[in-house]
Amino acid sequence: MKLIEERRDTPRPRILVLSFSPISRDPRVLRQIRLFREFADVVSCGYGETPEGVIEHIEVPASFKSWRVSYKKVASLLAARLHSRLYFHSQRVRFVRDHIAPGSIDVVVANDAIAVPLALALRPRKGVHADLHEYAPKQGEDDRRWRLLVGPLMDWACRNYVTKADSVSTVSKGIAEEYASAYGIPEPSVVPNASAYVDGIKPTPVESPLRLVHTGAAGRVRRIEVMIDAVRLANEMHPGTATLDLVLVPGEQRYIDELTSKAATVPDGAIRMRTAVPFNQIVPMLQEYDVGFYLCPPSNFNMEHALPNKLFEFIQARLAIVIGPSPEMARVTNEYKLGKVADAFDAESAARVLVDLTAEEVAVMKKNADAAAFDLSAEKVTGPWIDAVKTLAAID
């Protein structure tokens, strides 16, 4: 017995938001649900509890996160390039197909390339929109095993299925261009990971030393220690230049311990480790600072073209921004005059920017962030999703 079958008792289209992620903790997927429920009945399918705003939720068992019970069997199928067999015989895909009747949905919004083959197999009446959160074929390219085994699976999904989606979106222009070039997909629309607009706040006065903040995951590939070194160098070059608070989401604990030890060696307590706050408290917490700081080393293709939520959270908090020369972030920063872009991703280049930054400049940048906050909010930039899904669902 299917849990979801075709229904004709409502004039509203039925949209399935499909994601192999814990949806209730996935800001991008939650944003889709909030948008689409305004004009459609939304069904969600993924891991974890029921997200707010859906009429039904298909919860994929957490035990089905692995492709198969046997790691060796998965590796052998990947090595033999038996991608279709691996994918469609997996527990999670079979579970979803057992719980959603083919043709029972009007539109499927498939999150990430790996969800698209399943979305098409569900045969939605009016089409599939693929939202690609990263450039999937290079998602783990800095890991040799991933590159040899998982990369070809992602290429299989893109080449054979994403190319058949009715419309496609992704997170940045550079990634959209790569999908178009590599797979002949008409260039996907771009929907950045922008934060919701926060109304009724104004930039806070600039303090001395400048109060810098960095938020995000504690992953070694992010080289957070370089930002610590940059602040230390800046204060050596010009005492009292800046402080830096690191607000890190729990990740690799050994790396966090290393960063904590390194921060403790910086004189005058200039570097502090702060406990992460809940998602809805990030922007209020950021308002305590002057500058959002992020050096994002281009260790892989996706990091090179990153346009992360933290950038947009800095903007909603009305902060100035100091970043490395990441092309997507630099484009936004320069276009809206939000901050400074260092010449390179090393500590010396960032330290020079910090030393040269005046309180007057930071005040102007914070004012510019206030002026740009709505234009760079989720409410403003998610139009391509609405347009694509309404077009497929034939909604005026």
Indicate whether 34 and 142 sit together in one domain: yes
Indicate whether 131 and 67 sit together in one domain: yes
pLDDT the model gives residue 45? 98
Indicate whether 38 and 23 sit together in one domain: yes
Among residues 130, 128, 127, 136, the alpha carbon closest in space to that of 156 is found at 136
Inside any domain, residue 186: yes
Inside any domain, residue 388: yes
Q: Are 338 and 320 in contact (CB under 8 A)?
A: yes
Indicate whether 27 and 166 sit together in one domain: yes
pLDDT the model gives residue 67? 67
Indicate whether 181 and 231 sit together in one domain: no
Among residues 151, 148, 156, 153, the alpha carbon closest in space to that of 138 is found at 151
The CA distance from 163 to 168, in Å, is 9
CATH code of residue 173: 3.40.50.2000
Q: Are 369 and 315 in contact (CB under 8 A)?
A: yes
Inside any domain, residue 202: no
pLDDT digit string, tens, across residues 133-152: 999 999 988 888 888 888 99
Q: Band of the pLDDT at 69, cuts 50, 70, 90?
A: low
Q: Determine whether 281 is exposed, middle or buried from the number of CB atoms within 10 Å of its CB (0-12, 13-18, 19+).
A: exposed
What's the rounded mean pLDDT across residues 346-369? Answer: 98
Inside any domain, residue 333: yes
Indicate whether 182 and 229 sit together in one domain: no
Among residues 26, 28, 4, the alpha carbon closest in space to that of 16 is found at 4
The CA distance from 20 to 114, in Å, is 8
Indicate whether 107 and 240 sit together in one domain: no
Residue span of the structural domain in which 158 resides: 14-192+379-393
Q: Band of the pLDDT at 210, cuts 50, 70, 90?
A: very high
Inside any domain, residue 80: yes
Indicate whether 236 and 188 sit together in one domain: no
Q: Which residues of 227-259 are buried (b: 16+ CB within 10 A; e: fewer)?
A: bbbbbbbbbeeeeebbbbbbbbeeeeeebbeeb
Inside any domain, residue 7: no
Inside any domain, residue 197: no
Indicate whether 167 and 218 sit together in one domain: no
The CA distance from 283 to 262, in Å, is 27
Q: 209: cis peptide before it, omega within 30°? A: yes
Indicate whether 264 and 363 sit together in one domain: yes
pLDDT digit string, tens, across residues 153-198: 999 999 999 999 999 999 999 999 999 999 999 889 999 999 999 9
Pinpoint the alpha helices (H) of the chain.
27-36, 71-79, 83-88, 91-99, 116-121, 144-145, 151-160, 173-183, 225-237, 253-264, 282-286, 301-304, 309-316, 327-335, 347-356, 359-372, 378-381, 383-393
Q: Compute the half-sphere exposure of residue 240: CA atoms within 13 Å on the CB side of its CA.
A: 5
Mean pLDDT, the chain, whole residue set: 93
The neighbour count for residue 84, using CB atoms within 10 Å, is 12
pLDDT the model gives residue 311? 97
Indicate whether 281 and 136 sit together in one domain: no
Please report, as a single letter, which amino acid is at residue 189. Answer: S
Inside any domain, residue 6: no
Residue 36: pLDDT above 90?
Answer: yes
Q: How many domains does the chain have?
A: 2
Indicate whether 226 and 324 sit together in one domain: yes
What's the rounded mean pLDDT across residues 35-41? Answer: 96
Tell me the pTM.
0.89
With a CB cutoff of 8 Å and minimum separation 6, the contacts of 294 are 214, 216, 227, 308, 310, 311, 321, 322, 323, 324, 329
